[in-house]
Structure 1
Amino acid sequence: MPKKLVLVCLLNFFIAAVFGLLLRYAFVQPMSLNYRFLTHAHSHVAMLGWVYLMLFTLIVHYFIPDKKPIYNRLFWVTEFAVVGMLFSFPFQGYAAVSIAFSTLHIFCSYYFAYLIFKHHKTKNKVTSRLLKWALAFMLLSTIGVWCLGPAVVMLGQASAFYQIAIQFFLHFQFNGWFLLAVIAVFFHKLQLQDSKEFRLFFKFLIIATILTFALPVNWFAPHPVLVWINGIGVICQLFALYYFIIIIKPALKAFIKTQASVTKFMYDFALVCFVLKMLLQSASLIPEVSNVAYQHRNFVIGFIHLSMLGVISGFLFAFLLQNSLIKHSKTLTFGMYAFIFGFVLTELILLIQGGFFYFGIGLLPNYYLILFLCSILLPLGIGCFIINIINTRKNVAETT
């Protein structure tokens, strides 16, 4: 796996984490930076600079046997788009320059999908199906982006149409493209073969991903039918989780035995977050839970971070920990535990504060300061990972 590409992805993640830290510091000490603009920069660099490009690198590494130069060039063009968003969003938000770079990224993703469909070669139906559907959801999600312009012109940013378009993009990015791509790499690592259980898992997961979009739609355009559609999706998701556990359990035991302790812990962390995410989504069957989650921003941010930092980033880190680019050391172990500890602490603080708001108790004492201090552990952990890769001069043997 190319060292430069991995470092670029991690550096994007580090910058996104620092932006997140600044967003939390803004509540401790007011800053001159525009909070909303910085939020856009934080989310775009995290999603498109870290997760998207890391998945790009992993997919090419594992599923493209003939590494054509076009992939390297496409990576750098896509990174150029990310850098453009990095330097435009904090100063102008959604405007001509940032929209131009966002559009460039979308066109790069279209070309990437085309290349993968054309060049990927694997005899394993398991990873092939997951990968193809992951890319299909990526393409589908961009419909939401193309709807934003017409939504603003016709109805304005406060309209249900505009909000649903944003949710469409986010839903099929997180629950479709990101999640299925990560599972594809994970199943490739486990060397899982096609089976009746996998086919059931796959069908339930695809159906659930499509139907559960009814929940965010119901937030902005309430209708009883949407509640039932989401309910069916949630039930399908629970079946998918059941079959997921069945199919990975035998292979996971043998796989984990060969890994270093920090790698084992990272896989366990990612899997626990994945199960927790699925169970929390299932709680949306209860209308009161769904409404409370939407009305209190702490719960929304906590769930987004559970998906982004816990599930997706947890798996991505686990994959990288098996790679020859890193050398297991005390610095690396400290960094990974710092990241996980920071994640767990901030999630707990957000959850507790959300509960306080719900029961009308008010703010936790020194809430913003504590949240900021705990958040320092996130870029610290990512920074340790980057330092480890930079300092690893010789390739070590693959652990797989």
Structure 2
Amino acid sequence: MRDIFKINTITSWILCCFFNFLIAAIMGLLMRFVTLFHFSNIKYSFLLHAHSHVAMLGWVYMTIYALIVHLFIPKDKSCKPIYNQLFWITEFTVVGMMISFPVQGYAFFSIVFSTVHILLSYVFCKLVWKDSFREKTPEKKLLSAAILFLVFSTLGVWCLGPAINMLGKQNAFYQIAIQFFLHFQFNGWFLFAVFALFLKQAKVNPDKESFNKFFVLLILSTFLTVALPISWYVKNEMLKWINIFGVFLQITAFMYFYKILKPYVLYSKTDLNIRIKGIYGLVLFSLVFKIVIQLLNVMPDLAEVSHQIRNLVIGFIHLTALGIITGILFGVLIENKILDNKSKILGYGIKTFALGYIMNELLLFLQGIFFYSGKGKLFGYFEGVFIAGILIVVSIILIIISILNKKQESIY
């Protein structure tokens, strides 16, 4: 009975997460509509805040929440009402942000919902820490680091209020606080969490020494590479060298990670479904591309202007959020049979998503390169990213339909 309850609960949670993802994608598409057709009735900045918050906190956070409970919390504890209640209360804050940000931007109600979401995340961290960390397995070490990074990242948020009151939004400290939060959310909490989920699903028994080197190096590199966004607002030569050291530590860490996953890679060549292979292939390509970009940012001139070219910044964020984090989440969801791997509709959805994602990244980075080299606007750029946005929206709708079909089949 508990197993049935857990399956039904996780399916409902994931369905909710994909609806959040759909809303975030529609908001992203609306932003491109505003730009392409010069539609002035919608406040672009308000929509941007809504899109980013719903994507991060409604899709990525909530999906990681669901999968942590499903994979890491023992059955007798994951069925406790508190996890289900906390999920839906947290979802209420996400819905609040969906409504308040497009209407008022950063103002009273949106700040309240965002703040409550953070406080609820602390409750989740406490529950996971209490119910999960009895054994110090590699995947639980990654999860413990992810939980600590989640809490640590929110220090940036708590600094925003004092920064605005004392120094104003244009001050360097305010901008650094935002970058601090984003860096440790994406490169700390999100990445460590999805790596933990992947390692748990892959059932790899890594060599202890190799894993510990990977683990320590990745943590150190995460702390050191925050020097890059800080260097955008504080001119200090030392920050450049700290970032360079952090990037090389990260490369070394992923070399150990590949060594750990080598048995899984060899197994996947023969036994894994072609759809899952394709997803993880896209994740690997995105991860390598992310590291290459970080290496390029070691060059002083590029590091100086890269954050000023909006297309490059957006491309890098989507590379991490869609290519790596969402890619791993898709893979874990399919391998756990939460998404039906036999569904043709799911297959169309995954392929459409991959096409939209690749098209989006190509256009964003090409346009960024054009601006960097002084060549101006790329022909058909706005039309292209709008079409890519449509593809991503369609892909999420197809995945939702596949979940609804699976749920209906399970009822009968």
Summarize deviations over 1:319-356 as a string: whole Å, max 9, x none. Answer: 11223333322221111111111111111111111111
For residues 185-196 of structure 1, the aligned pairs below 5 Å read 185-194=197-206, 195-196=208-209
Query: For the residues of structure 2 that align with 1:71 and 1:6, how far apart are their CA atoms?
Result: 14
Shift of 1:185: 0.7
Are 2:357 and 1:343 aligned? yes
Are 2:69 and 1:57 aligned? no
Give the TM-score normalised by structure 1: 0.96
Match of 2:26 among 18, 26, 45: 18
Query: For the residues of structure 1 that align with 2:169 and 2:269, how far apart are their CA atoms?
Result: 48
2:47 maps to 38
Shift of 1:121: 4.7
1:127 maps to 139
1:230 maps to 243
Moved more, 322-331 or 219-228: 322-331
Match of 2:226 among 204, 207, 213: 213
1:240 maps to 253
For residues 120-269 of structure 1, the aligned pairs below 5 Å read 120-121=132-133, 123=135, 125-194=137-206, 195-255=208-268, 257-269=270-282
1:270 maps to 283
Moved more, 89-98 or 25-34: 25-34
Summarize deviations over 1:247-283 as a string: whole Å, max 9, x none. Answer: 1011232246433221221111112212221222122
Query: For the residues of structure 1 that align with 2:175 and 2:256, how far apart are their CA atoms?
Result: 34
Query: For the residues of structure 1 that align with 2:46 and 2:272, how far apart are their CA atoms?
Result: 42
Secondary structure of the corresponding residue to residue 35 of structure 2? coil
Q: Tell whether the 8 Å contact from 1:37 to 1:91 is kept in structure 2 after alignment.
A: yes
2:297 maps to 284
2:338 maps to 325
Query: For the residues of structure 2 that align with 1:289 and 1:395, how far apart are their CA atoms?
Result: 53
1:74 maps to 86
Shift of 1:143: 0.5
Summarize deviations over 1:213-241 as a string: whole Å, max 9, x none. Answer: 01100001110111111111111111111
Q: 1:122 to 1:187 in 2, by over 3 A?
A: farther
Moved more, 120-129 or 360-369: 120-129
Q: 1:386 to 1:122 in 2, by over 3 A?
A: farther
Q: Output the amino acid matched with 2:258.
A: I
Q: Tell whether the 8 Å contact from 1:84 to 1:101 is kept in structure 2 after alignment.
A: yes
2:13 maps to 5
Q: 1:133 to 1:255 in 2, by over 3 A?
A: same
Shift of 1:358: 1.4
Q: Tell whether the 8 Å contact from 2:143 to 2:196 is kept in structure 1 after alignment.
A: yes
Query: For the residues of structure 2 that align with 1:271 and 1:359, how far apart are their CA atoms?
Result: 28
2:4 maps to none
Give the TM-score normalised by structure 2: 0.93
Moved more, 274-283 or 51-60: 274-283
Secondary structure of the corresponding residue to residue 244 of structure 1? helix
Match of 1:310 among 304, 316, 323: 323
Query: For the residues of structure 2 that align with 1:134 and 1:256, how far apart are their CA atoms?
Result: 29
Shift of 1:124: 5.2
| Count of aligned pairs | 396
Q: Output the amino acid matched with 2:168.
A: G
1:47 maps to 56
**Which sections of structure 2, spanning at least 5 residues, go unmatched?**
1-6
Match of 1:356 among 353, 358, 370: 370
Q: Tell whether the 8 Å contact from 1:151 to 1:162 is kept in structure 2 after alignment.
A: yes
Shift of 1:192: 2.5
Q: Tell whether the 8 Å contact from 2:201 to 2:335 is kept in structure 1 after alignment.
A: no
Secondary structure of the corresponding residue to residue 136 of structure 1? helix
2:120 maps to 108
Query: For the residues of structure 2 that align with 1:395 and 1:165, how far apart are their CA atoms?
Result: 47
Percent of aligned positions with the same letter in both sequences? Answer: 47
